[in-house]
Chain A
């Protein structure tokens, strides 16, 4: 079933990931370099699945402390108060700015989680040689690449706030370890998305289906 997919690799060609030129590989083991732009050619990204899995798992591990540990600590006259991401969402919601709460919830909690879940889904389907919804999965991958970086907004805000609000006796804000884990999650998912090779999605699919599409 899975053997029927018609891909460039199977036809004996390799495409350049940089300039897109289709060329004949120099050898079966080492495809060599692109004759046009000189970039190193690969049939498929090396160890894409393992590498992506590693990064996804690392990101998932970091996701827990990122949400449990406080991201920053605000010191005011009334005392010291640590804030986690979720407590920030709750405070924004309770103070009436629900739209900001929604933005924060989506950008900082849901998108990283959605990215992790999507990557895991892609990896599992590729490993199982699934042939269904190839187009949708490719689209999902594209979306992942685009929105992933927006999660960094949270980190930016935190760093801005820490730098700006330093009115020492009245109020000051200091970063807490949570923000480190949070940026680790964002960066690791970006790398994970990068290391995944969407061409793998098509490797196991029926050549016929694809051409017919």
Chain B
């Protein structure tokens, strides 16, 4: 501004000595340490999974701070403490779950104890022999979270994520099946029994099986299941046929399934209920559909006819006997046998050639029923009792043509309709016997007897005359004796003389042949010696053979003569 300004008032800057920073750098060290500590605590807290409580029936092999919870063989948790529950009946296991697995803790999650198991159908959990038991885990599909669980008593038979389908089987008895019994399809192990329980009414067993994918698609709606535990032996006209399942199935039991050859049914939905048959034959028997029932009124004994006996048409099974009983006829005032049969009329057409025009006529059940009515009315189709086995006397019902049978037709006014019958083969046989007896009765036995008597009298006379003839012959012989014997005596004496002279001649020849030095004698002796030697040889041989019979086959052993 102006030149003559007064500078005296300008303040002087103060010199402040440079201060060393008050907080030394060394404080970074505890700050870093604290940060690291806090970081670790925070990380721990972040990684800290939830604490869960599982109730176990027993604490077999569960140890605090040691036993692991595993899912798909990786560790997802660890048991912290093992305590008794408040009422001292169960075990309460407190466990720490891993943070990353927390999402699996839902309402349906399952826990169970894994321990080594050795059974006929396999060995599992061998690893636990070394590492100790662990707790198995399987997540559920529920969205609801949960922290308190009750462990399963046994490992679940199947994991939820195992691909395949579950089916139910209804059986009369459990047989030799058990948990884990294999399920076979064409002898391939495709699944197993996962549970079984008695039906609610106690009259059958409910068996649940699991068939693994991709084999589960072979289970269709008409698939048949049967128990394959055992040997199925059958002695037929073509010899003995033997069917066995695998050795495991023989011991531990098993289930086999197969679709009938004609099966074109769709794949079975999960949890479909099937019947478990006792064996393959009954399982693969044709299904019983298009049932038509008839009542048969026979006049003969029902002995040997039982429920389930076959009904055969020209030797082919078309049905079975469903009831055997008596009924009272008010008109005739008597009791009569009454047999009910069920026929499966589709079996008539089952094996017919396809696509023929004739088939069209009998394709429907109505068509077949009409045809049968016709056959009964025109061709004499009748039911008859026949003996199936002469040994056991079992009867069966045969349906056959009897053109000579009196006219009859199916009585449809009754329910079930009455099918006309003819007398059985046994009854026929009885008739024939009766006829025979009647004929026998007509034979004139008395006249024959009289004739016989006369004949005998004649015979007696003849014999008497023969006796007389014999007596005269006797006399003749006595005479011959007296006249002939002295002569014969003389002849004998002559003969004796002749022999004496012959003896003399012979003794002279003895010297030639029989003396000790006679040449013949000598040769004979030599020959006998040869024979003796040969006999000794044979003796030695038989001795040797007795001791070493194998030489007959192998020859003589050179080293051991």
A interface residues with partner B (beta carbon < 8 Å)? 47, 50-51, 54-55, 57-59, 61-62, 64-65, 69, 77-80, 177, 181, 184, 188, 195
CB distance from B69 to the nearest CB of A (A): 13
CB distance from A171 to the nearest CB of B (A): 13
Of the listed stretches B30-38, B117-125, B234-242, B287-295, name the one at the interface; the rest are far from the partner chain: B30-38
Within 8 A of A (CB), among B498-522: none
Cβ-closest 7 pairs across A and B: A58-B30, A58-B33, A57-B30, A61-B33, A58-B29, A51-B26, A54-B26
Q: Can you report 29 A-B residue pairs in the complex whose CB atoms are below 8 A from each other?
A: A47-B26, A50-B23, A50-B26, A51-B24, A51-B26, A54-B24, A54-B26, A54-B30, A55-B26, A55-B29, A57-B30, A57-B34, A58-B29, A58-B32, A58-B33, A59-B33, A61-B34, A61-B37, A62-B37, A65-B36, A69-B40, A77-B131, A78-B130, A78-B131, A78-B132, A79-B66, A79-B68, A188-B29, A188-B33
Within 8 A of A (CB), among B22-50: 23-24, 26-27, 29-30, 32-34, 36-37, 40
Instruction: Using A78-B131, A79-B68 as known contacts, say yes or no to A177 and B33 having CB atoms under 8 A apart.
Output: no
Contact partners of B30 in chain A: CB under 8 A: 54-55, 57-58, 61
Q: Kindly state the separation between the CA atoms of A188 and B32 in the bound complex, as whole angstroms.
A: 12
Taking a contact as CB atoms under 8 Å apart, the answer to whether A54 and B29 are in contact is yes
Partner of A54 from B27, B36, B66, B130 at Cβ < 8 Å? B27
Q: Kindly state the separation between the CA atoms of A80 and B131 in the bound complex, as whole angstroms.
A: 10
Interface of B is mostly: helix
Instruction: Using A54-B29, A54-B30, A55-B29 as known contacts, say yes or no to A64 and B37 having CB atoms under 8 A apart.
Output: yes
Contact partners of B37 in chain A: CB under 8 A: 61-62, 64-65
Partner of B33 from A47, A62, A69, A80 at Cβ < 8 Å? A62
Nearest-CB residue, chain B, relative to A47: B24
Give the one of A57, A69, A77 with max B CB within 10 A. A57
If A61-B36, A188-B33 are given as contacts, then 13 extra A-B residue pairs at C-beta distance below 8 Å, sorted by A number, are A50-B26, A50-B27, A54-B27, A54-B30, A58-B29, A58-B32, A58-B33, A59-B33, A62-B37, A69-B40, A78-B132, A79-B66, A79-B131
Contact partners of A65 in chain B: CB under 8 A: 36-37, 40
Nearest-CB residue, chain B, relative to A57: B30
Question: 1/0 per position for B139-153, CB-CB distance to A under 8 A?
Answer: 000000000000000
Q: Kindly state the separation between the CA atoms of A69 and B66 in the bound complex, as whole angstroms.
A: 17
Taking a contact as CB atoms under 8 Å apart, the answer to whether B33 and A77 are in contact is no
Q: Kindly state the separation between the CA atoms of A68 and B27 in the bound complex, as whole angstroms.
A: 24
Contacts between chains A and B (CB distance < 8 A), count: 54
Contact partners of B130 in chain A: CB under 8 A: 77-78
Contact partners of B132 in chain A: CB under 8 A: 78-79
Q: Kindly state the separation between the CA atoms of A165 and B34 in the bound complex, as whole angstroms.
A: 33
Taking a contact as CB atoms under 8 Å apart, the answer to whether A184 and B26 are in contact is no
Q: Kindly state the separation between the CA atoms of A81 and B34 in the bound complex, as whole angstroms.
A: 28
CB distance from B523 to the nearest CB of A (A): 98
Within 8 A of A (CB), among B470-490: none
CB distance from B68 to the nearest CB of A (A): 7
Contact partners of B26 in chain A: CB under 8 A: 47, 50-51, 54-55, 195
Nearest-CB residue, chain B, relative to A51: B26
Nearest-CB residue, chain B, relative to A56: B30
Give the one of A51, A58, A65 with max B CB within 10 A. A58
Give the one of A59, A79, A181, A184 with max B CB within 10 A. A79
CB distance from A46 to the nearest CB of B (A): 8
Partner of A184 from B27, B33, B34, B66 at Cβ < 8 Å? B33
Nearest-CB residue, chain A, relative to B24: A47
Contact partners of B66 in chain A: CB under 8 A: 79
Q: Kindly state the separation between the CA atoms of A140 and B132 in the bound complex, as whole angstroms.
A: 51
Q: Kindly state the separation between the CA atoms of A150 and B127 in the bound complex, as whole angstroms.
A: 43
Contact partners of A55 in chain B: CB under 8 A: 26, 29-30
CB distance from A134 to the nearest CB of B (A): 26
Q: Kindly state the separation between the CA atoms of A80 and B132 in the bound complex, as whole angstroms.
A: 12
CB distance from B510 to the nearest CB of A (A): 111
Q: Kindly state the separation between the CA atoms of A62 and B30 in the bound complex, as whole angstroms.
A: 9
Taking a contact as CB atoms under 8 Å apart, the answer to whether A50 and B40 are in contact is no
Contact partners of B29 in chain A: CB under 8 A: 54-55, 58, 188
CB distance from B221 to the nearest CB of A (A): 49
Q: Kindly state the separation between the CA atoms of A181 and B36 in the bound complex, as whole angstroms.
A: 9
Contact partners of A57 in chain B: CB under 8 A: 30, 33-34
Contact partners of A80 in chain B: CB under 8 A: 75
Contact partners of A54 in chain B: CB under 8 A: 24, 26-27, 29-30
CB distance from A64 to the nearest CB of B (A): 6
Nearest-CB residue, chain B, relative to A66: B37
Nearest-CB residue, chain A, relative to B40: A65
Q: Kindly state the separation between the CA atoms of A80 and B30 in the bound complex, as whole angstroms.
A: 33
Q: Kindly state the separation between the CA atoms of A97 and B383 in the bound complex, as whole angstroms.
A: 98
CB distance from A68 to the nearest CB of B (A): 9
Question: 1/0 per position for B42-76, CB-CB distance to A under 8 A?
Answer: 00000000000000000000000010100000010
CB distance from A76 to the nearest CB of B (A): 9
Q: Kindly state the separation between the CA atoms of A62 and B33 in the bound complex, as whole angstroms.
A: 6
Q: Kindly state the separation between the CA atoms of A79 and B36 in the bound complex, as whole angstroms.
A: 29
Nearest-CB residue, chain B, relative to A79: B131
Nearest-CB residue, chain B, relative to A177: B40
Q: Kindly state the separation between the CA atoms of A69 and B130 in the bound complex, as whole angstroms.
A: 27
Contact partners of A59 in chain B: CB under 8 A: 33
CB distance from A73 to the nearest CB of B (A): 13
Contact partners of B34 in chain A: CB under 8 A: 57-58, 61
Q: Kindly state the separation between the CA atoms of A178 and B35 in the bound complex, as whole angstroms.
A: 15
Q: Kindly state the separation between the CA atoms of A45 and B115 in the bound complex, as whole angstroms.
A: 66
Q: Kindly state the separation between the CA atoms of A184 and B30 in the bound complex, as whole angstroms.
A: 11
Nearest-CB residue, chain B, relative to A46: B24
Nearest-CB residue, chain A, relative to B32: A58
Contact partners of A47 in chain B: CB under 8 A: 24, 26
Q: Kindly state the separation between the CA atoms of A64 and B29 in the bound complex, as whole angstroms.
A: 16
Contact partners of B40 in chain A: CB under 8 A: 65, 69, 177
CB distance from B137 to the nearest CB of A (A): 17
Contact partners of A50 in chain B: CB under 8 A: 23-24, 26-27
CB distance from B63 to the nearest CB of A (A): 11
Q: Kindly state the separation between the CA atoms of A64 and B39 in the bound complex, as whole angstroms.
A: 13
CB distance from A13 to the nearest CB of B (A): 24
Question: 1/0 per position for B247-280, CB-CB distance to A under 8 A?
Answer: 0000000000000000000000000000000000
Q: Kindly state the separation between the CA atoms of A192 and B33 in the bound complex, as whole angstroms.
A: 14
Q: Kindly state the separation between the CA atoms of A77 and B129 in the bound complex, as whole angstroms.
A: 11
Q: Kindly state the separation between the CA atoms of A65 and B27 in the bound complex, as whole angstroms.
A: 20
Contact partners of B75 in chain A: CB under 8 A: 80
Q: Kindly state the separation between the CA atoms of A54 and B32 in the bound complex, as whole angstroms.
A: 11
Q: Kindly state the separation between the CA atoms of A61 and B66 in the bound complex, as whole angstroms.
A: 29
Nearest-CB residue, chain A, relative to B37: A61
Contact partners of A77 in chain B: CB under 8 A: 130-131
Contact partners of B36 in chain A: CB under 8 A: 61-62, 65, 181
Nearest-CB residue, chain B, relative to A195: B26
CB distance from B108 to the nearest CB of A (A): 28
